[in-house]
Amino acid sequence: MQIENYLKTYQSILDASNGSIPDFIRKERDAAKEEIIENGLPDRADERYRYLDLKPVFDDTEYKRITSEPAVTDSLGSFFQCEVQGMDTDLILLSNGWYHESTLPKDSKVVVCSMREAFHKHPELVQKHFNQYLKKAKDGWTELNTMLAQDGVFIYVPDNYITEKAIQIVNLTHGFSEKEIFQRNLIVIGKNAKLQLLICDHTLNKAKNVNHLGTEVFIDENADFQMYDLQNEPDISNVFSHLAFHQEAYSRLTSLAFSLHGGTIRNNLYVTMNGQGAESNVYGLVLSDRQQRMDNFTFIDHAVPNCVSNEFYKGILDEQSRGAFSGRILVRKDAQNTNAFQTNNNICLTDEAKIRTKPQLEIYADDVKCSHGATVGQLDEEAMFYLRTRGIDKHEARFMMLFAFANDIVRKIEIEPLRERVADLVSKRLRGELVACEHCLLNCESN
């Protein structure tokens, strides 16, 4: 069965490693393995995965698991481009979950390398942070990522360093066989430092795939971290994303996830506010149609007093697509003077489209300001009629209203060229046009 197969894969990785895995990494992976053996991989019997049907992902497809570095002789960057016009970025390319190359200048103060390299070059940082935050999720799928992911990106921004240029991570999934990919990233932002990160996923062929992505971000005191995740993938691509942010005092986090297209997308997002005065802004937009499945599962842990969290997710579901939003906010006993706000608004465009939304506030402190609101509705027929009586045709009226709805999230993007680019992608998506990236030479289609 599935779990045994994964365990076998792990064993084969160990057999091939010749003892090259540092003990502290090995320890975490072995512990993950024990967790999986004991608790299994969550399915619909687990409350957190109750609304996620995994059958379309794990059907009869025999996925090839990528357990060693893919052989790529050419520079992927030479035939792949994913530029945001007017936005100057340093690029990091990953190939099937493995670090491939980066365009960061050699003398950059920001450390960027593969995770494998970081194990040996920056053992103290890796040891301090690796799996310290995602482990707390107690989620078998996260454990699976910990057990099997062998590479990914390591980024370290030293104290007091303001990164002027944004960094863009491009995850390329390529090759002809159906595959299962594992990637694990670690990002450490030093005190008073700043980083803007853009992540784009691309699938370059028509073979079904599952991407297991694990990312941990440590944001030290008074640091500023912005992360933009563009999930714009064909229907044959499935994503299990596990993202954990750990915030120290007076740090600021902005996380935006745009789930514009894909097969099954599951985003698990965890924020721990571990230092007073921290602020986190967590936003997401889901646009789905056909048989697509997009879930956002979020957990914000107010562990200390005087922190602020803003959570705002929106979804537009068309045709037979399904989605779920789960927003858990925990305000611990000592976390006085917490401000925690959560909103989730959804539009279902057909009778068959379904979204489940579940706010979950657990408040143990007594001096807090918390709010949550969730709505599921249809397109406002009265507003549609109003627009049409002014001579605007049905399609344009519908588009204007949906775009206005989605734009609440798009306008949170602070980088202007990126905001325009995403607005353009969202427009095209809502108009039902192809979602191929304009600058991509590969011209992969959205279906």
Q: Which of residues 394-433 bind another protein (CB under 8 A)?
A: 394, 396-397, 400-401, 403-405, 407-408
Amino acid at 429: R
By C-alpha distance, which of 13, 4, 139, 2 is closest to 57?
2
How many positions of this chain bind another protein (CB under 8 A)? 22
What does the radius of gyration of the chain's CA atoms come to, in whole angstroms? Answer: 21
- State the minimum distance, in angstroms, from the CB of residue 327 to another protein: 22
Query: What is the DSSP annotation of 37-71?
Result: HHH----TTSGGGTT---TTTSSS--PEE--S---
Which lies closer to another protein via its Cβ, residue 211 or residue 345? 345
Given a contact cutoff of 8 angstroms between Cβ atoms, the answer to whether 385 and 353 are in contact is no
Which lies closer to another protein via its Cβ, residue 63 or residue 403? 403
Which lies closer to another protein via its Cβ, residue 352 or residue 380? 380
Q: How far apart are CA 443 and CA 429, in angstroms?
A: 16
Which of the ranges 48-56, 94-102, 135-143, 389-397 carries the binding residues for another protein, by CB under 8 A? 389-397
- State the minimum distance, in angstroms, from the CB of residue 379 to another protein: 11
| Residue from 122, 388, 412, 428 in contact with another protein (CB under 8 A) | 388
Which lies closer to another protein via its Cβ, residue 24 or residue 403? 403
Which lies closer to another protein via its Cβ, residue 361 or residue 379? 379
By C-alpha distance, which of 155, 203, 199, 197 is closest to 181?
203
Which lies closer to another protein via its Cβ, residue 158 or residue 377? 377
Q: How far apart are CA 255 and CA 257, in angstroms?
A: 7
- State the minimum distance, in angstroms, from the CB of residue 339 to another protein: 24
Given a contact cutoff of 8 angstroms between Cβ atoms, the answer to whether 175 and 203 are in contact is no
Residue 190 CB-density burial (10 A; 0-12 exposed, 13-18 middle, 19+ buried): buried
Q: How far apart are CA 195 and CA 342, in angstroms?
A: 25
Which lies closer to another protein via its Cβ, residue 47 or residue 424? 424
Which lies closer to another protein via its Cβ, residue 108 or residue 407? 407
Strand, coil or helix: what is 164? coil
Which of the ranges 82-90, 131-139, 383-391, 418-426 carries the binding residues for another protein, by CB under 8 A? 383-391
Amino acid at 175: G
| Residue from 387, 413, 426, 437 in contact with another protein (CB under 8 A) | 387
Amino acid at 316: I
What is the signed CA dihedral for 88, 119, 244, 58, rounded to 10 degrees?
A: 100
Is 3 among the residues that bind another protein (CB under 8 A)?
no
Q: How far apart are CA 257 and CA 259, in angstroms?
A: 6
Is 236 among the residues that bind another protein (CB under 8 A)?
no
Which lies closer to another protein via its Cβ, residue 404 or residue 441? 404
Q: Compute the residue count for the chain.
A: 447
Is 385 among the residues that bind another protein (CB under 8 A)?
yes
- State the minimum distance, in angstroms, from the CB of residue 404 to another protein: 3
Q: Which of residues 322-381 bind another protein (CB under 8 A)?
A: 380
| Residue from 350, 386, 424, 432 in contact with another protein (CB under 8 A) | 386
Catalog residues that contact another protein under the rule CB under 8 A: 380, 382-383, 385-394, 396-397, 400-401, 403-405, 407-408
